[in-house]
Amino acid sequence: MKKKFLFGLLAGTFVLLFLGVGPNAATAAPEKIALGFVTIWNMNHYTSTDQIPRFFKMVEKAAKGKYTLDIKWYPVGTLLGGSEIYDGIVKGIADSGISSFGYAPGRFPVILALNQSGVAPPENADAAARTVWEHYNKWKPKELEGTKILYLCATGPGWLHSKKPIRTVEQMKGLKIRCTGGGVLGVKAVGGDPIGMPMGDVYLAAQKGVIDANVGPLETLEGWKHHEVFEYSTFVPYFYSEFFHINMNWAKWKALPKDLQDAFDAVAMDAVKDAGQIWQYQQQRGMDFAKAGPGGHEFIYLSKEEVAKLQKLCEPVRGQYIATLNSKGLPGEKIVNSATEIMAKNNKLKYEPWKP
């Protein structure tokens, strides 16, 4: 009787193992989810090598390893231009991607309140990333209803990279300054000539003399090799900040398993914080890289008097942008004041540095 019982127990265990439900059964392989991703950066840029891959790994972990995201990358300019990416994702030309709001200035009026010179100057990339996410969630602008917003991030405060030293606001007058659409009013306010173009075109434009300067973050000195075409960088924190959308086509989103959708949503805020830390780290890295280069690179900080002049010149931008929002039937003053308040709040927070 005892032998029969043991034999039956062993036989039952064998059947369970065969069916894959026993204690030592092999774990089912994760389901592969194909996802096309278009970007405004080359494949060697840290957004492509680090930031976005880290985000997708967060999603896979939140989904408890049930899925593997199989990303097909479309490098800068190969499928959609920077200004085309958002609407290209709306139309399903790309499943998902990342681009700058400033590349399509008339397309994102609520978000671009943050870009306007002097309206919401960030202390760092951490504060800027949290602010754009909070700003978006507060206003839920119709301009972004065309796609699923996965998360948002930002560069942090800006610098004016130039071929000649700029130590006064007066020296900005008459310069052909490359900027995104969100910075046009600021460039005009200081008497500059705004030249709109994506970051990928800046190197050749500077080399050929099409532009005299580029307003942007420090990371471009390394990431876009701008240390080779600019010798000076002047800190202009009240002048520039850029913001990015990471989004997905709605049809693609709705086709994802519900638990994978939940995983994307669950890590959104962590992705915002992570991107803020990475971008802040890369700003310092860009500065260190340029300093160590052949011939060095000079970094200039405006005097208190010159900063005051810059702020004064940028003051009309606030009213001009409020008028722009009002003309679109939006509550301009409320949106602009809210942008200022959210950034001021996040600027006061302390942030942990990112360690690669």
Task: Write the pLDDT tens digit of every residue in 159-169.
Answer: 999 999 999 99
**Residue 240: pLDDT above 50?**
yes
Which CATH entry fits the domain spanning 31-347: 1.20.80.10, 3.30.70.100, 3.20.20.70, 3.40.190.170? 3.40.190.170
CA distances to 22, 61, 64, 165, 196 from 68, rounded to whole Å, are: 24, 10, 10, 49, 39
3-state secondary structure of 227: helix
Q: Give the mean pLDDT of 144-161.
A: 96
pLDDT band at 181 (very low <50, low <70, confident <90, very high): confident
Give the pLDDT score at 321: 97
Give the pLDDT score at 28: 82
Query: What does DSSP say about strands 232-235 and 298-301: parallel, antiparallel, or unpaired?
Result: parallel
CA distances to 75, 261, 281, 320 from 120, rounded to whole Å, are: 31, 32, 21, 15
Give the pLDDT score at 160: 97
Token pair, residue 344, equals 């001021």
- Distance, in Å, from the CA atom of 106 to the CA atom of 327, rounded to the nearest integer, reads 12
Share of the chain above pLDDT 90, in %: 83
Q: What is the mean pLDDT of the chain?
A: 91
> pLDDT tens across 187-196, in order?
999 999 999 9
